[in-house]
Structure 1
Amino acid sequence: MSLPKPLPMAKILHNGHHARAKPLRGLMLLALLGRLSGAYEYDQDFRPCVDDKCFAEIHSDVPLCWMQDDNQNVHYMSPMDGGLHRIPNACRRSNIFGGDRYLVAYPSTGGVVMLKTPSAVDLQHLELPNTHDTARSADEDDDLATRMVQLGAQWWPNWDLYFRHSNRIDIGIFYDYHFPSKVDVAFPTTGGAWVANFTQDAPRHQYEDKACQSWLPHPPDLWRVKMRYALTMDDKSEMIKELGGTFYISVDEVPGLAKTVGEAVGLFEPFKQRLNDMEDNAYRGRFCRHEKEDTDTDTDTDTGSEEIQKPRWGLWSLFHELR
């Protein structure tokens, strides 16, 4: 005697078992969410960061990493609160054409030297193609890193620290001199260097309370357009000149610009404490107000000698006439 075949789900529901539909759907939904959660944490496409020759070093056990289009996708969840970023995996030199637009080098001194959104002129100056991303050759890192910092590239101890704070700037948190500024350099064929230095704070802060204004200016409105259409270093030099940059006879005379990776590491040293200070919510909310209070000293005091000299990355005097 054969057992009757079980009715299909559709037939069961059709035969009046509607009361079970919602519980069944709920169980199915929970099962689906459980599978998605497990996949996000353990599946090969969404796995925790692991040691791999093509993975950049991640110091937190919180981020999740996965590879996509030759990029290392890193999701910094709480407490890193650094958002979702794409960096070139350690086997790639850049992800300019398919990622967050970084050119990177990993010098033997440690850390990472990065140039965000380099121009075609910058790439040509570094003897790199400006039509596609390239694979990384580790034995070229020291030389490339040196030439990158001379163009204004920054050295950071690791990606974690950079992403954590750059993300906060992106969402509008005011950093001022607590975060390295953006330095652009051009080398004309006639010699010397044209240099511009800008804050990386969100532009809207220039309209807020004077006490919370950046000491460095934001890029002029035409800056990105001009840089996009520069075809040579002479073009870039002319545009920096036109937009108010400063000329130096020798790159050695440019204050705050590293000529070696070692100098770039030294320039970053003061930012370790400043970035750590910005981890304190109370400090972050009051530092600009304290600066205003510090300048409002006794009227009998010589205000010139009491002026606060804020330390900052780059060229402190550039564009000072506009402040």
Structure 2
Amino acid sequence: MIRAKPTTCIFLFFALLVGTCSAYGYDQDSRPCEEDACFVEIHSDAPRCWMSGNNQNIAYMSPMDGGSHRIPNACRRSNIFGGDGYLVAYPSIGGVVLIKNPSAVDLQHLRLPNTHDTERSPDQDDGLATRMVQLGAHWWPNWDLYFRHSSRVDGGIFYDYHFPLTSTSPSRRQAALRHQYEDKVCRSWLPHAPDLWGVKMRYALTMDDKSEMIKDLGGTFYASIDEIPGRAKTVGEAVGLFEPFKQRLSNMEDDSYRNRFCTIDEGEDEDNDKGTANEKPFKQRWGIGSLFNELR
């Protein structure tokens, strides 16, 4: 057995120390999050957090082998034109309500400008959050949980009904994986939006247009938001709707569970399946036809 010389070990230790320190240093265009009022609380094991432009950047060590993500500037409602495309509301109940890449029609329905990003108005966040969940946005307990899992979905890991999908952009994350998993072990359980969804929604000028297009694509029409299954009318209801996803997302942090959920046999003993991925939630609609006139 070959033994390393003491001097070699010391050299390697200092090299590692220097590399670690430089890895978590800040360049001239960045600043620590603690020095900026526009950052949110970090829930991950994050050794480094810095502000750069309109984003809060986080490099974290755990869970799920660590990673990095960018949280939108908490002093702004949106970073659609100057960031990653998020519309955000921070309700007084806590957590965050978000929509990724809302359409111009969605913004107008939410009483927001569709030509520029807007600053956050704390006294109006509850009203905006309510209108967002009624439009189909989801509530999340914190940014960290959202980004940890959304980055994995975007990277090709099959989540299906373990990850909430907003009806403002149905199947946005899973659509690219649809054909990859059809007729294979990881069969998609959630329905997918038609191929023309993106094209149709791009040319909708009003909510009336959007409603007619959704109906033409096979969407279900509801005369009132009260009739829509699984749709929150308040932020409190949105918090309740997220509850089942806490365990599902936690399960997906376990690679063995994730592999098993893709390969599990539908005919296995029900007692073994209780509480696992085969205990499917209420089947969510991919689109809606309601105009929500009462919400305008």
> What's the TM-score once normalised by structure 2's chain length?
0.79
RMSD (Å), alpha carbons:
3.0
Give the structure 2 partner of residue 241 of structure 1: 215
What is the correspondence of 1:229-308 to structure 2 with a 5 Å cutoff? 229-294=203-268
1:294 deviation in Å? 3.2
CA contact (8 A) 1:73 1:84 kept: yes
Give the structure 2 partner of residue 203 of structure 1: 176
1:176 deviation in Å? 1.5
Change in Cα spacing, 1:91 to 1:52, as seen in structure 2 (3 Å) is same
Runs ≥4 residues deviating over 6 A: none
Give the aligned residue type for 1:132: H
Give the aligned residue type for 1:156: W
Give the aligned residue type for 2:105: V
1:123 deviation in Å? 0.4
* Partner SS state of residue 241, structure 2: helix
Change in Cα spacing, 1:269 to 1:291, as seen in structure 2 (3 Å) is farther
1:201 deviation in Å? 2.3
1:314 deviation in Å? 3.1
Cα distance per residue 1:268-307 (max 9 Å; x no partner): 00111111111111110011322434399xxxxxxxxxxx
Identity of aligned residues (%): 68
Q: 1:99 aligns with which of 70, 73, 83?
A: 83
Is residue 281 of structure 2 the alignment partner of residue 311 of structure 1? yes
Change in Cα spacing, 1:80 to 1:97, as seen in structure 2 (3 Å) is farther
What is the correspondence of 1:49-68 to structure 2 with a 5 Å cutoff? 49-50=33-34, 52-62=36-46, 64-68=48-52
Change in Cα spacing, 1:46 to 1:69, as seen in structure 2 (3 Å) is closer
Give the aligned residue type for 1:213: R
Is residue 83 of structure 2 the alignment partner of residue 85 of structure 1? no
What is the correspondence of 1:1-323 to structure 2 with a 5 Å cutoff? 34=18, 38=21, 40-43=23-26, 45-46=29-30, 49-50=33-34, 52-62=36-46, 64-79=48-63, 83-184=67-168, 197-198=170-171, 200-201=173-174, 203-208=176-181, 209-294=183-268, 310-312=280-282, 314-315=284-285
Aligned length: 266
Gap runs ≥5 in structure 2: 1-13, 271-277, 289-296
Gap runs ≥5 in structure 1: 1-29, 185-195, 297-307, 319-323
CA contact (8 A) 1:92 1:134 kept: yes
1:252 deviation in Å? 0.5
Change in Cα spacing, 1:97 to 1:274, as seen in structure 2 (3 Å) is same
